[in-house]
Amino acid sequence: MSTPKNSFAFGMIASALAATLALGAGVAMAADGPLRGNVRVVIGSSSTGGDTYQNSSIVVDKLAEKLGVRMKVDAVGVSAAYRALDRDPRGNTLMIFHDQSYLGNLYGVEGYEDPFENYIIGPTIAINPGNAYLVPKDSPYQTLDDIIEAVGNGTTVRVAIQPGGVSEIGYTALKNAIRIEHPGKEDNLVAVNTGSQADKNQLLFDDQADLINGSVQANEQYTRLPEDDQKAMRFVWLTARNDTIQQAPESGLGETDRETLLQYVEPNVSVTMGDEDFTFDKEFFFLYNKDMDPAIVEQIDATLEEIYAEGEIQEEQKKSFFIPDFMPSDEALAHLKEKASRYEDIIDSLKK
């Protein structure tokens, strides 16, 4: 290749670079405050149809608007999300996840480090109150108490769950309650480890499970099918706190109103932990790189505070059946740590 062409090429590339650089810089300068440039919010789920994505996009959209930075939610999944977060202390990468982060660690799942030690816990943003347990509509068990009784009397009850986290915690609590009320009988409650909601439903249809973990959102329509339909199901337990469901829209979800949903939460359904009833709210919160500038933590806290004070976001969350639940970082940390230690006790008490 001859030299003139070479320098011509170089000139072209250089000017193109300069032009785009200027463009890029323009974007980066738009915001003031410690959080600058483009921000990527990675989430611990790889589904864009799931609750984590939905929740994150509601909050991130509002946040981006208020902060004047470009923010994008990327559903990269747990391990990739943690890796992206680990690499970036500048604050251009943030993460949103839920209780799975510490539950995975408590259950000893590979790849789940202790989030309280390895990351900064950011503000909580919302609760998905839908975590539920269901039986077939023609099940002999009318209530969760029936199940506890049956297991106590030596009947084997199979529960379909996804192991190692949010889906398993209710099962663990139930097992623990049986241990307390009918010592030695808890092994009659067996887990059927499976994956997606489709798989859990399928196990119920196939009569390979007596009880399944599910959610109000995914299973509500199944509970309204006629009893002679093979697919018909019935709620027996919602793990959310009574207070949480109280905040849900009065119309509930689908055709099941709040009043009906309240029948399936404590104190109407009681899963004892000894001194009090077990409850579990699936809470979504931010996670930051350990070395991120504390000023960014404050900035996000303050901005979310403003957003929640305006009240618009709550409407949007409730429309999607999420319960607004804003706590600034320090409050969130204390709350989640306390929550984690409670569940740790239950999980440990079943280890032999």
Number of neighbours of residue 39 by Cβ within 10 angstroms: 21
Write the DSSP string, 169-215.
Answer: HHHHHHHHHHHHHSTT-GGGEEEEE--SHHHHHHHHHTTS-SEEEEE
* Contact between 321 and another protein per CB under 8 A: yes
Which CB, 177 or 216, lies closer to another protein? 216
If one asks whether residue 201 binds another protein (CB under 8 A), the answer comes out as: yes
Give 229 or 259: the residue with its C-beta nearer to another protein.
229
Measured from the CB atom, is 312 or 331 closer to another protein? 312
Q: How far is the CB of 147 from another protein (least distance, A)?
A: 20
Residue with tokens 């070479």: 6
Q: How far is the CB of 323 from another protein (least distance, A)?
A: 15
Rounded to 5°, the CA angle 314-339-308 comes to: 15
Pairing, β 233-238 against β 131-136:
antiparallel
215 lines the binding site for another protein (CB under 8 A): no
SS3 at position 324: strand
Question: Closest distance between another protein and the C-beta of residue 203, in Å?
Answer: 8
Taking contact as CB under 8 A, which single stretch among the options 141-149, 159-167, 176-184, 302-310 is the one that binds another protein? 159-167
Which 255-294 residues touch another protein, going by CB under 8 A? none
- Does residue 73 contact residue 43 with C-beta atoms inside 8 Å? yes
d(CA 258, CA 249): 7
When asked if residue 250 is in the footprint of another protein (CB under 8 A), the reply is no
* Binder of another protein out of 253, 271, 296, 304 (CB under 8 A): 253
Least separation in angstroms between residue 231's CB and another protein is 6
